[in-house]
Amino acid sequence: MIRTLTLSPALDIGADIARMRPFSKLRSGPARHEPGGGGINAARAIHRVGGEVCAVFPADAATGERLLTLLAGEDVPAVRVPADTPVRESLSLWVREQQETYHVVTPGGDLDPVAAQACVGALLESSAPVEWVVLSGSLPPGVETDYYGRVARAAGERGVRVVLDTHGEALVAALRSPVFAIKPNLREFGELVGERLVAEDRAGIERAARTLMARAPLEVLLLTLGPHGAMVTTSDRCHWLRAPTVRTVSAVGCGDSFLGVFTQAVASGRTPVDAARLGIAAGASAACTPGSALFVADDLERLEGEALTEPRVPT
């Protein structure tokens, strides 16, 4: 059983228009409504590849019920923790003439400490055994910076492994606690290690990764690099994975697809490198879908074959 936590859930709305024009009424095609937020999308991805999962999130009654209905439409089990927090709305607009996606996200509200603590109970205190938890997304206002770290410690005391996808101070604070894996992108990783890194400087990235692994209670570093692929760092070495070549329609949902599929694969017994290869395939498939839509499961086997392990850079 995998459980995911999304402290900043969202109602995702996707649409497309012919062209972008200022001071004009822009008429779109039919809108697509999907449940969103990092952990919710990870849960959808896990379910899509056959995993047993439950998504936990705080939300007000009205929008929270809407998210539960959308998740039920995909057969994804979920638990809404009652809160007065307004749910964010996220608009992904595909402009056909420009072949570009615009992504607009409204802010969410404060999450009170009582609801934040109730989320921990809903995540870890379950009648069904929980073996893995995915903590994904930014912390909403009102939640202390070390929240994910406290959740990770509570999970560790129960023998539950943690996969974490966040950034900034929340990530720094969380890495004071044992975590199985983190999944920053290159900008987030550079902020974490205090260096300006570029994808072409593989030797510099490896040095920074090894330094982090030596000082943090961390088993796997998943560094996603977009079209440059990914680097998986374990206790013994760094592994570079090539990104499949696809025509990108939208980058929304790629990271969440990677995260969910990686977690399900490693929980099912795959090595972290093999699990990351399947995660890259999911991210590449998601890049081909409009708006916040996730990957197409039938694409994974083909795209996984393109996510080859590349030679390690000399040191």
Q: Dihedral of the CA atoms 163, 169, 172, 173 (nearest 10)?
A: -80
* Alpha-carbon gap, residue 275 to 119, rounded angstroms: 28
Are the C-beta atoms of residues 173 and 182 closer than 8 Å to each other?
A: no
CA distance 179 to 275: 17
Residue 60 φ/ψ, nearest 5 degrees: -70, 165
256 is catalytic: yes
**134 is written with which tokens?**
């995915």
CB 1 within 8 A of CB 50: no
Give how far the C-alpha of residue 19 lies from the chain's centroid of Cα atoms, to the nearest Å: 30
Token output for 222: 């998943």
Catalytic residue among 12, 165, 256, 299: 256
Count of other CB atoms within 10 angstroms of residue 188: 17
Alpha helices (H) in the chain, listed in sequence order: 38-48, 61-73, 113-124, 147-157, 168-174, 186-193, 202-215, 254-267, 272-287, 300-304
Sheet holding 32-36, edge to edge: 32-36, 10-17, 88-95, 100-105
Q: What share of the chain is helix, strand, coil (3-state, %, to 5)?
A: 35, 25, 40
SS3 call for 16: strand
Q: To 5 degrees, how large is the angle CA 261–CA 215–CA 203?
A: 70
What residues are labeled active site?
Answer: 256
